[in-house]
Amino acid sequence: MEDVKSAFSCYVEVALENMQEIKEPQHLQRSKRINITIPENILHKIDKYVNNTLANLYFY
């Protein structure tokens, strides 16, 4: 994860120096909703991972 943050930081720095447009993230246009059943403990682990990952990306 640290490599991803570093790479993104370098990209932003170079893009700003070169006055390049930095596009806003786009939502997935080809997404589908599905219903699945999984154990609750697995769902909690997924939620925790996603929340931590998003927090790290947005508050970097």
DSSP string, 27-57: --SS---------HHHHHHHHHHHHHHHHHH
What's the mean per-residue pLDDT of the chain? 81
pLDDT at 57: 66
pTM: 0.39
pLDDT at 37: 92
Q: Which helix (H) or strand (E) holds 58?
A: helix 40-58
pLDDT at 29: 67
Low-confidence ranges of the chain (pLDDT < 50): none
User: Please, is 20 exposed, middle or buried when counting C-beta atoms within 10 Å of its C-beta (0-12, 13-18, 19+)?
Assistant: exposed
Rounded Cα distance between 11 and 29, Å, is: 24
Cα three-residue angle 32-37-25, rounded to 5 degrees: 35
pLDDT at 33: 81
